[in-house]
Amino acid sequence: MKKSIPSKPAPAKQVKTEKTTEKLVPAQAWYARPALWLKVVLFVFAFVLYGNTMKNGYSLDDLYVTYNNPVVNKGIKAIPLILSTRYINLNAEEGGMMNFGYRPLTKVMFAVEHQFFGEDPSTSHLINILLYALTLLLLFSILRRLLPNYSIWFPFLVTMLWASLPVHTEVVASLKNREEIISLLFGLLALQSFMTFTRKGSFPYLIFGALWFLLSIFSKPSTLPLLAAIPFTIYFFMTADVKKIALITGSLILISIAAVLFVKLYLPEINRPMLFFENPLAFEKNFIHHVSTGMYGLLLYLKLLVYPQPLLFYYGYNTIPVVGLLNVWVILSILIHVGLLVFAVMKFRTKHLLSYAIFFYLIIISMYANIVKPPAGIIAERFLYIASLGFSIAVVYFIFKLLKVAADKPLTRIQVSKAVLLLMVMLIPYTARTIVRNEDWNSQLSLFSHDIQYLGNSAKANFIYATTLKTSLIEKVSKDGDRSGTEPQVDKIIALLEQTVKVYPGYFEAWNSLGEMYAMMKNDFDKALEYFQKSAEARPKYAAAWFNLGYAYQQKEDFPQAISNYRKAVALDTMDAKAVSNLAFCLNKTGQMDEAIALNRRIIRLRPQMEMPYMNLTMYYYKQGDTLNAIRSLEELVRAKPEAKRASGILNHYYASKGDTVKANYYRQLFENAKGKQ
């Protein structure tokens, strides 16, 4: 039998170029070995972009999820509490009054980290980078599946560009914003599961997709627009019948409803008032102003994508002004966005890639357009985190178009080189901008001090910076016991607070802080009274302002005025033991001893282990010559709090002077025990 001779493989097609002849690289080859190397490049690129954040410490808002957070610091045993409470509870964490949100997964992650590493910002930043790198790998994988006929270089370049966008620094360089990373990561896993369900028709993947989306929402609800974007993506890129798309959409809606019902039924009520300086549109009833200011913000988002300078930690009033439809930037924004929308609609039936990119961007960014529900801060760079994918797809599409290269055909090496070099025009400056911006996020002070030069019109930004400096100053003075050399910092804090109230005269906390600076650091109680009064006028129910008015009058020994203001403070905050104590002190000074005693007894009922009311009573009785009741007050304190060293020391000396050695020895022993515990 004649043996058959295997035929020679057909030679690769030759493509003539201007200077040389280049072999086409078969598509199959690019989906094999090079895919692995491209993934390695993406993973390494994440560290090139954000590796320098590992030397950063804690920064803006990190206390909500990690730094000095009393819940997270409990470690793994705090997980049940984290899962059953609101995301922000300022009563528990800062002494405030706000209670809102439900984002347990980030807090759980930080609780586990704290269990094994303690407060270690370097480790936390490393985890942020790893999560970002995983996001890049997953995004690259999904884009390849959505664009199976495209050269592998197209999804790779899209992912590289998206990764490099400097607007992402607020997400990756900020530990608090890890919630954005894992929210998108779970959202992409949901999309991947739904894609598999569409292809295989296997219902477990439908369930997995819904569960991934639930985790995404519980990471942060910023992925809620994916409820529309995921079915839209499935329709646009995959062959899916109406039934499958309906099942995907229905599962997303059902899981979203389940999440909302869980939060509403099993968690405390939300208490999160929007303040004017956060977003004045929350108080704006003119819908035209919502639309026009929203369009103004959308134009700024596009500007930040193309030209990310300056990048700011906060915007708010009046960085973004409330404008009308005749504003030139609003008109330009309307023309651009309407033009994009018209193009996307016209190309929708042919499933043009640019149509998808535009629709995806608009679907995601619509949540932050200020038209339906104004977000805090008016705009924020992190709001572009997901939406910027549409921008990245469009840019790479135009690169291929400019090179007259078909993205759905195999590429020559020269074509690949040209596409990469052209993208470098954006990639290099974006990468450099990202790396430099990461350094600003080293700490709160480094971030604020850098950005404040661009934030003269942001009331809250000036106040936040002033408050941070003020806290640092007070801690230093308290520790050193010396105010010398603090004048420049005091003047800087006052200037920031004055700029705050200049931008927004209704900023009651800033008026109050101004008063505190003049009272504490300048001993100018007349000026302090002026500012405390303005704070009380701006927010009549602000207890701190009335307390400080009382304190300033007390320092001036105007006790009737002090009593009047302390009464208002106590009426607004009945649990403020310091206000009650100061009121009692002033009442005692004016001869109203009975009420002063009654007020201290009230504090004891509220907080039986607080030393202050017992010591107050001791002082009152002693000055009246009632030594017996003074001693009884001290003994009552020691019974409630045996470690009260000062009280046991006084009692020791008192009974020793009376010759009562038994009691003297007893209180001396308590004194020694308390001293040993220090």
Q: What are the tens digits of pLDDT across the range 591-604?
A: 898 999 999 999 99
Name the percent of the chain lying above pLDDT 90: 79
User: Given a cut of 80, is residue 24 above it in pLDDT?
Assistant: no
Residue type, 105: L
pLDDT tens figures, 284-318: 999 999 999 999 999 999 999 999 999 999 999 99
User: Given a cut of 80, is residue 646 above it in pLDDT?
Assistant: yes
Name the β-bridge partners of 430.
none
Residue 148: strand, helix, or coil: coil
Question: Which residue intervals of 441-486 are DSSP H helices?
Answer: 444-451, 459-480
Please state whether 6 falls in left (phi above 0), alpha (psi between -120 and 50) or beta: beta
Residue 519: strand, helix, or coil: helix
Residue 36 structure tokens: 């692995």
> H-helix or E-strand containing 86?
none
Residue type, 381: E
pLDDT (average), residues 126-137: 98
> H-helix or E-strand containing 16?
strand 14-16
Contact 151, 29 (CB under 8 A): no
Contact 519, 473 (CB under 8 A): no
User: Given a cut of 80, is residue 8 above it in pLDDT?
Assistant: no
Contact 84, 49 (CB under 8 A): no
Other CB atoms within a 10 A radius of the CB of residue 396 amount to 27
3-state secondary structure 585-608: HHHHHCCCHHHHHHHHHHHHHHCC
Q: How confident is the model at residue 20 (pLDDT cuts 50, 70, 90)?
A: very low
Q: What is the pLDDT of residue 574?
A: 87
User: Given a cut of 70, is residue 2 above it in pLDDT?
Assistant: no
Contact 535, 564 (CB under 8 A): no
pLDDT tens figures, 61-114: 999 899 889 999 999 999 999 999 999 876 433 334 678 889 999 999 999 999
Q: What is the pLDDT of residue 678?
A: 61
Instruction: Output phi, psi for 364, to 5 deg.
Output: -70, -45
pLDDT tens figures, 313-350: 999 999 999 999 999 999 999 999 999 999 999 999 99
Q: In sequence order, what E strands does 43-130 have?
A: 88-89, 99-100
Residue type, 39: K
pLDDT (average), residues 239-258: 95
- Domain limits, the chain: 456-556
CATH 1.25.40.10 fits 456-556, yes or no: yes
User: Given a cut of 60, is residue 15 above it in pLDDT?
Assistant: no
Q: What is the pLDDT of residue 408?
A: 79
Average of per-residue pLDDT values in the chain = 91
Helices 388-402, 353-365: crossing angle, 10 deg rounding: 160
pLDDT tens figures, 503-557: 999 999 999 999 999 999 999 999 999 999 999 999 999 999 999 999 999 999 9
CA–CA separation, 311 and 550 (whole Å): 42
- Residue count (the chain): 678
Q: What is the pLDDT of residue 5?
A: 38
Q: What is the pLDDT of residue 375?
A: 92
Q: What is the pLDDT of residue 134?
A: 98
pLDDT tens figures, 472-493: 999 888 888 788 888 999 999 9
Residue 293 structure tokens: 């200011």
Highest mean pLDDT among 13-22, 262-271, 627-636: 627-636
Helices 104-117, 121-146: crossing angle, 10 deg rounding: 130
pLDDT (average), residues 135-142: 98
CA–CA separation, 516 and 529 (whole Å): 9
Stated pTM of the model: 0.88
Lowest mean pLDDT among 11-20, 156-165, 403-412, 436-445: 11-20
Contact 514, 497 (CB under 8 A): yes
Helices 287-306, 328-346: crossing angle, 10 deg rounding: 80
User: Given a cut of 80, is residue 11 above it in pLDDT?
Assistant: no
Lowest mean pLDDT among 33-42, 46-55, 84-93: 84-93
1 versus 430: the higher-pLDDT residue is: 430
Q: What is the pLDDT of residue 33?
A: 64
Q: What is the pLDDT of residue 97?
A: 60
Burial 106-118 (b: 16+ CB within 10 A, else e): bbbbbbebbbeee
Q: What is the pLDDT of residue 159?
A: 98
CA–CA separation, 536 and 36 (whole Å): 64
Q: What is the pLDDT of residue 674?
A: 82
